[in-house]
Amino acid sequence: MDLTRSEKGSSAKKAELSLTPMIDVVFLLLIFFMVGMKFKELDRKLETDLPKAGEPPEKQDEMPPSEIWVIIKNAGTARNPSPKVIIDQRPFTDWDSVYNTLARLSKGPGAKQDPVIVAPDGNALQGWVMKILDHLNQLKFRNINFKQ
């Protein structure tokens, strides 16, 4: 597109608009939306393991599942952190005791379907939470939740 401007006594100058930046932006938007649509398609294909809604218990003597609480705290200082794991109100400071206690709890009837609530403290390290989740996974607990 040419723009011309003429004045008395001056020669006409031609000014051109460059469309290259606009075309670049259009191509970037096109790529952005193509990639975004691909992610939406992948999100629809993700498999989830959601609990199935069942019938309520008809017998009064059927107990609802008991919860296992695993609280993770930092018992040390910022420079020297040390974990303190509380399982059903019993504190532990070493990982072998934590694993043995979870293994004992997993042997109860229907214990692997009982909800396990992991409640990390704000000062708990991420590695400690992952270690607890590894223990629960090794012991085949299936109903693991986080405290909100």
User: Do the domain assignments include residue 5?
Assistant: no
Q: What is the mean pLDDT of residues 59-71?
A: 65
Quote the number of domains for the chain: 1
Q: Which domain holds residue 137?
A: 68-146
User: Do the domain assignments include residue 136?
Assistant: yes
User: Do the domain assignments include residue 119?
Assistant: yes
Which amino acid is it at 51? Answer: P
Using one digit for the tens of pLDDT, what is the confidence trace for 6-47?
566 566 677 788 889 999 999 999 998 887 776 665 566 656
Instruction: Tokens for 80, please give them.
Output: 């020297």
Under the banding of pLDDT at 50, 70 and 90, the label for residue 61 is very low
CATH code assigned at 84: 3.30.420.270
pLDDT at 22: 92
Please say whether the beta carbons of 106 and 112 come within 8 A. Answer: yes
Using alpha carbons, select from 52, 89, 69 the residue that is nearest to residue 144: 69
Instruction: Tokens for 117, please give them.
Output: 């609530």
Q: What is the mean pLDDT of residues 76-105?
A: 86
Using one digit for the tens of pLDDT, what is the confidence trace for 34-45?
877 766 655 666
User: Do the domain assignments include residue 41?
Assistant: no
